[in-house]
Structure 1
């Protein structure tokens, strides 16, 4: 089954996303001038912007969080499923969630240049995606070598290790599509915003820049929305608890 560390880190993502959604909803009255304000630096507008931006930052960081968690599963493959090792998810959430809010704070306050963050974000997404794929390839090859070894020299330890390794490979392949989907959406949104910031530099093009950034943020939100149910369904199928609506489409009782 999917390890609890993966579920805890994903729960951390959902918590940040929900907080960001609340921030976006509370920002709407200010954007529509329903709530009067003099300047955008007035409280709570910057605070709400930080909540919103943190959800984008953490959506990028979560790719590395999942990759690190699966790397830990690879390192401790012999007994990872049997032992909780909750400290892994505690450390990952404890480092990356505050890091997401710190990154958001630096962006909103102007301490972190937007173009720099976009470049770093693209590198983070690409690196996490490649690392995740390499982990799958490594585990598949290791499983193949171990299977070959067991056929020639069967022993209890190798058989047990093969079961655990096979479980790790299955877990990674179950969430693989969700990771790809989220990565493509994040990269697409960042590229769109990055291109707009570079090309629409004239003050007369500020409105176009705003609209392009809005479209980029919508791409972010759409792919996050699409990938979340897929990961949920993948976990459900993996654990044997298929959601009722999916059972209906699969014609299963």
Structure 2
């Protein structure tokens, strides 16, 4: 696999992990129309793929030689870079009743027994794909708002003030006998730009969406948005003075 993590992040991708080629072919046939599907034939290969590329969801066969599905899932959840990626564990019909419990204890989001209904599998995977796309949209929106704040007032949280032409100059009175420091004769410029108010409103909406959704990583993103909201408030307060 040659795609970089940055390039792959432009589209949602699915990682399927199974040591048997025929199982990978079957999974790809079911899921290929939903998103890009990447194959791995061992737990080690799966971990390498996840460090190179971003995935919306990973499907792992439990019974694999070497690093089995449980161990692979535990290793994925143990890495900061991949700990929030949802995992679906797959196993055969003759399964230990404790497998499902063990799967959830290592951080799996779901557990399916083969042979599974293709429609059911597509439905479950599609939920994670939609969630991944919405998460990415919210991240992109937060970055756009941050750039908008930076363009409007310098670095977020550090308002940039325009130089005051009268601050360093001595009062000067021309032939019209007007005082340049008199507010009545020189009205103050408009205060808070409409753009800042719009940014504050959009940040508040994004934060509400994040707080209402129960998803790994969204709370951290909501906290980042709160910081941006506070930066907007500081900018607005500074420009009102």
Structure 1 and Structure 2 fold alike (TM over 0.5): no
Q: Could you state the TM-score of these two structures normalised by the residue count of structure 2?
A: 0.27
Greater length-normalized contact order (CA 8 Å, ≥ 6 residues apart)? 1
Q: Could you state the TM-score of these two structures normalised by the residue count of structure 1?
A: 0.26
Higher helix share: 1
